[in-house]
Amino acid sequence: MSQSAALDHVCGLLERQYGELGRAAGERVRQWMQGGVPHAYPEIIARHFEDERHLPLLFDAFWQVLPFGTGGHRRRVGYGPNRLNPTTVAMTVQGHCQYLRSAFPTAKELTVVVANDVRVFNDLSGTYRFLGATHPLLGVSSRSLGRLACEIYAGNGIIAYFAAPEKPDAVLSTPELSFLIDRLKTQGGVNLSASHNPPDDNGIKVYDEFGSQPVAPQDQRLADAMLDATQIRSMPFEEALQAGLVRAIPAALHEEDVNAYVKFYGNTWKARPDIPIVYTPLCGVGLTTAGAVLERLGFPLLTPPNEGPDGSFAPIPFKAPNPEVPQATLPACAFADAHHVDVVLSSDPDADRIGVEVKHSDGRWHHLEGNQISAVLCYFLMLDPQGPRRRGLVIETLVTTKIIARIVEKAGDSWLADDLLVGFKYVADVLKQLERDGRYKHIACSPSQLVLATEESHGVICIPTIRDKDATPACMYLAALYQRLRLEGRTLLDYYVQILEELGGYTEVNRSIVLSGAEGVVKKDRIMASLRESPPPILAGQPVRRIADYWDQKAFGPFVSETDKLPRNVIQIFSDAFIITVRPSGTEPKLKFYCQMLPCGQPSGTRGLALLKELKTRAETVARQIYNELLARIDVSLSEAALLLPDIIDLDRKQDFDRKTVARLRDALAGTTHANLSELLAWLRAEAAAMTPGADPLPALKPAVAHLCKQWAEELGSRPLFAELQRWASG
């Protein structure tokens, strides 16, 4: 069959199988095959036609153009307009060039900063295994995409500042990008990074002249410019470098950035050389920012030797370099144990998120969640008698812990900007409004009076000229607090529990339902539509008192642009016991929901770790109930065991676990197929391999298997293999 006939055949299959979306996918396939799309690799796309088993992949890669999410694009690397690749990056950058020309028509010269993290595409999931051991996207990195961005800016006559242009492995973090935009007075910038996503993903985030990601309606004008970017203008990198259109970021500015943190830290605490801190950048760029600042302040820093820059995130469990994922720092915790250190600080690959693990006196490691980190930092900065005792502006989003408001209220002489839409760009927008107009709603103060801006997803800023999340200030304050508490014989966990005892039993659990592909988009939309059409009178056993729908234009104002709709696709459900917020992610294929538990009905006399355990058990029970109540709106239900699987695993895999793996595991335990635990675990690892592509799935299965063992104890408890599995799962 000729390539033309094969193309016709595949396009017909797409339309028959997927209807109107399939027809649109086929039209895009034809467009990419005709050679008019830059970096399209039509010869590689043609390889998809050779086997109809590739049809779902082809459809998912072509059914839509990669949408402009929270400040840019983020997606799996792959071939097609619904993937992150040189084409989609080139179109984004060209659109940004056109936007800058229209937004700054009188500028004598236009300048941008181009940043990149460490990630490299190696197709760990095996999606493109059928293409063989070599194909054009293998080895594509954030750095190579950054060079491509520089070439396009140069081709449009725009100067691009780039970290050490002559070095193939140079990096620049998100917070330093924000600092440099402000310091160099550029009209914007871009970051080639997928933040904390798995290594098969990548992304591009666009920044404005304030060093922040734009909000509506500014982001609409940017998105429109990208749609109009049909012709890519480019200049070879070396030629652009010679012409001065690509310029090295002055090394002195990095030193200035580090010194700004040191000055801001002041005399908070004199670092002690005898109490070391373990810090891991989770294979990202954080040693250049948080690591450099901690060392400059005199904190004795220890970093696991294999967790420096590595775009494959090889040593990180699940290949998930995300401080929100407790398992991500397990190797760093083992390293800390070996060096007798009781804290692990971490940051994600672009160094904007902060993670904290605490070893308590019981010898166990405890993962501090984003809201807990926010509470500790806010209390330390404002209320701690030995802390800075700062007063001023605190900013939080609508899904950040409500204990922040209690801290600000108790501190007094301060302002709270709260209930912002989810995303740090809305935090930055408050600072921009105060900078431009001197006022934000009921608040009249200067951005320089910022004490803390924080959100639930491990994001913090303290220096107001940094307009995106920043792990560094959190690291330096938490390092100081850890050392002080260590001398007092206490831990950061003790400190957090003390805050709960003083201010009330607030606790939070955030979960995600991962829904991939076009079908996942439909399911997300169905759940949100169902909540609007049939609001629940009772949720997780609690009467619903009020529902706030941010799409309600009477209550929250008219949409100012199409890009205003996605971040406002938020529903909050209020009861006496909790606030539940449901929203689709703007950057990832998931529906997120946030359970903010209120200090309602807290038993008197419960204190210490018992209080923390009780609150967390209550919150997690509610979260599992709500998970299934949301799934019920698309006629899906998961077992209790499947609900215990981490949320990095998508819904289809969790359903497969329920439908297939559970029964097969039970049969394996009841039979004689596996002679010992090692054989059984080897089988289970292979059975569940698709759950965590490129990484060992067994750590992800432990909580679910432990639950199943409790269920099967009476039936299978006498079998030696069962007892071995039970010990493994509970260990």
Q: What is the rounded distance in angstroms from the CA atom of residue 537 to the CA atom of residue 543?
A: 6
Average pLDDT, the chain: 95
Q: Which CATH superfamily is domain 64-249 in?
A: Alpha-D-Glucose-1,6-Bisphosphate, subunit A, domain 3 (3.40.120.10)
Q: How confident is the model at residue 152 (pLDDT cuts 50, 70, 90)?
A: very high
Do residues 649 and 513 touch, judged by C-beta distance below 8 A? no
Cβ-Cβ contacts under 8 Å for 442 (sequence gap 6 or more): none
Do residues 186 and 479 touch, judged by C-beta distance below 8 A? no
Q: What is the pLDDT of residues 99-131, one digit of tens each?
A: 999 999 999 999 999 999 999 999 999 999 999
Q: What is the pLDDT of residues 645-677, one digit of tens each?
A: 999 999 999 999 999 999 999 999 998 888 899
3-class DSSP state of 647: coil
Q: Where in the chain is the domain with CATH 3.30.310.50?
A: 507-637
Tokens 């209120």 correspond to 598
Q: What is the mean pLDDT of residues 721-726?
A: 94
Higher per-residue confidence, 222 vs 628: 628
Q: What is the rounded distance in angstroms from the CA atom of residue 412 to the CA atom of residue 418?
A: 16
Q: What is the pLDDT of residues 450-499, one digit of tens each?
A: 999 999 999 999 999 999 999 999 999 999 999 999 999 999 999 999 99
Is the pLDDT at 218 greater than 70? The verdict is yes
Do residues 359 and 491 touch, judged by C-beta distance below 8 A? yes
Closest of 628, 551, 617, 623 to residue 583, by C-alpha: 551
pLDDT at 604 (0 to 100):
58
Is the pLDDT at 602 greater than 60? The verdict is no
Tokens 């402000």 correspond to 182
* C-alpha pair distances (Å), 137 with each of 121, 126, 470, 725: 7, 13, 31, 41
Q: What is the pLDDT of residues 241-277, one digit of tens each?
A: 999 999 999 999 999 999 999 999 999 999 999 999 9
Is the pLDDT at 309 greater than 60? The verdict is yes
Q: Which CATH superfamily is domain 507-637 in?
A: Alpha-D-phosphohexomutase, C-terminal domain (3.30.310.50)
Is the pLDDT at 223 greater than 60? The verdict is yes
Closest of 111, 76, 274, 257 to residue 189, by C-alpha: 111
Q: What is the pLDDT of residues 431-443, one digit of tens each?
A: 999 998 888 888 9
pLDDT at 398 (0 to 100):
96
pLDDT at 36 (0 to 100):
83
Strand 343-347 vs strand 354-359: parallel, antiparallel, or unpaired?
A: antiparallel
pLDDT at 35 (0 to 100):
84
Sign of the torsion angle spanned by Cα atoms 25, 30, 33, 36: negative
Architecture of domain 256-503: 3-Layer(aba) Sandwich (3.40)
Q: How confident is the model at residue 313 (pLDDT cuts 50, 70, 90)?
A: very high
pLDDT at 516 (0 to 100):
86
Strand 111-116 vs strand 415-420: parallel, antiparallel, or unpaired?
A: unpaired
pLDDT at 585 (0 to 100):
85
Tokens 């072509």 correspond to 62
Q: Kindly state the DSSP code that residue 603 receives in the 8-state scheme.
A: P
Least confident residue range of 142-156, 394-408, 454-468, 583-597: 583-597
Q: What is the rounded distance in angstroms from the CA atom of residue 265 to the CA atom of residue 557?
A: 40
470-504 burial: b if 16+ Cβ within 10 Å, else e: bbbbbbbbbbbbbbbbbeeebbbbbbbbebbeebe
Q: What is the pTM of this model?
A: 0.94
Q: What is the pLDDT of residues 319-356, one digit of tens each?
A: 999 999 999 999 999 999 999 999 999 999 999 999 99
Q: What is the rounded distance in angstroms from the CA atom of residue 427 to the CA atom of residue 406?
A: 19
pLDDT at 68 (0 to 100):
82
Sign of the torsion angle spanned by Cα atoms 308, 202, 198, 348: positive
Higher per-residue confidence, 53 vs 226: 53
- 24-28: list long-range contacts, CB under 8 Å, 24+ apart: 24/63, 24/64, 25/58, 25/59, 25/62, 25/63, 26/62, 28/62, 28/63, 28/65, 28/80, 28/81
Q: Where in the chain is the domain with CATH 3.40.120.10?
A: 64-249, 256-503
Give 590's strand partners: 514
Q: What is the rounded distance in angstroms from the CA atom of residue 28 to the CA atom of residue 35?
A: 12
Q: What is the mean pLDDT of residues 682-692?
A: 94
In SS3 terms, 693-715 reads as CCCCCHHHHHHHHHHHHHHHHHH
Q: What is the rounded distance in angstroms from the CA atom of residue 42 to the CA atom of residue 64?
A: 18
pLDDT at 150 (0 to 100):
98
Is the pLDDT at 28 greater than 60? The verdict is yes
167-176 burial: b if 16+ Cβ within 10 Å, else e: eeebbbbbbb
Burial class (CB in 10 A: 0-12, 13-18, 19+), 385: exposed
